[in-house]
Amino acid sequence: MKAITDSRDYVKNYDWNIGKPIDPIGTEPDRFAPLSGNNNYRSGKLSSFEQMKMLKKKYGIKRIINLAKDSLNHQQDERYNCGGMSVPCEPIWARELGIEYFPIYMEDKPPSNQDWSQIKKILAKGNTLIHCSWGVDRTGTIAGAWRKTIEPNLDNQSLLDYTYSFGGQWKQSGDPNQHLRTWMVDRSYDHKIRKKVNFEIRKVPMIITGITTFLALIALSVSRK
């Protein structure tokens, strides 16, 4: 999706009764949903090489930002002799598929200024998936902060309503994610970042138009010979 979006519809691909994904291969990760920008998405943890391959083919994912080291725990792949956090599969899968991979881990505190700057640069390029373990708290924080960065008219209540719609611990007693929520709400619009996003959104049509024009000129040149 190449647009600014407030979409709150997401894929449900986790069976809480057995504690496993319903379909770890052919279906998008749990809580997979579009995110504002040039073809950005958000989700919970990835389950398999095949699932990542499907995301690249179906959605054009070129970059993955992993916000949660614990999301690697359940991954196992004998083909690549990897599994768990000691030999994580996800960066290996990404390398095999030619996907840029960025482990920028968070817990219950906001990212550092350096990490946030890096995240913004990656998301501005587009074709990026951000995920944590459940696609709610850490992913919700970054998704919300990103929306505030590039959406000048997004008010705080709308932002919080959007964030709450994906579930999680946000409204539990004591608010275990209060530091994340406060940091997210304090983000501000950045017209320079939005300008970069707009450029990326327009770039593909511009390239196609340029190629079409070039081919038309070649055809015209040939016809005149």
Q: What is the pLDDT of residues 16-38, one digit of tens each?
A: 999 999 999 999 999 999 999 99
Q: Would you give the distance in Å from CA 203 to the centre of its chain?
A: 20
Residue 173 has pLDDT above 80, yes or no: no
Contacts with 77 (C-beta within 8 Å, 6 or more apart), sequence order: 48, 49, 83, 89, 92, 93
How far apart are alpha carbons 123 and 117 in whole angstroms?
Answer: 10
Q: What is the pLDDT of residues 127-167, one digit of tens each?
A: 999 999 999 999 999 999 999 999 999 999 999 999 999 98
* Lowest mean pLDDT segment, chosen from 56-65, 111-120, 168-177, 209-218: 209-218
Question: What predicted TM-score, i.e. pTM, was given to this entire model?
Answer: 0.89
How many domains does one find in the chain? 1
Residue 82: half-sphere exposure toward Cβ, Cα within 13 Å:
18
- Do residues 125 and 37 make contact, with C-beta atoms less than 8 angstroms apart? no
Q: What is the pLDDT of residues 156-167, one digit of tens each?
A: 999 999 999 998
Residue 224 has pLDDT above 70, yes or no: no
- The single residue listed with the structure tokens 């709150």 is 8
Domain region containing 92: 2-223
Q: Which amino acid is at 203?
A: K
Contacts with 130 (C-beta within 8 Å, 6 or more apart), sequence order: 35, 40, 41, 42, 43, 64, 65, 67, 119, 123, 139, 142, 143
- What is the CATH number for 33? 3.90.190.10
- Do residues 7 and 13 make contact, with C-beta atoms less than 8 angstroms apart? no
Q: Is 73 helix (H, G, I), strand (E, B) or coil?
A: coil
Q: Token digits for 92? A: 């290996």
Residue 208 has pLDDT above 80, yes or no: no
- Residue 220: its pLDDT value, please? 40
How far apart are alpha carbons 184 and 10 in whole angstroms?
Answer: 21
- Do residues 116 and 190 make contact, with C-beta atoms less than 8 angstroms apart? no
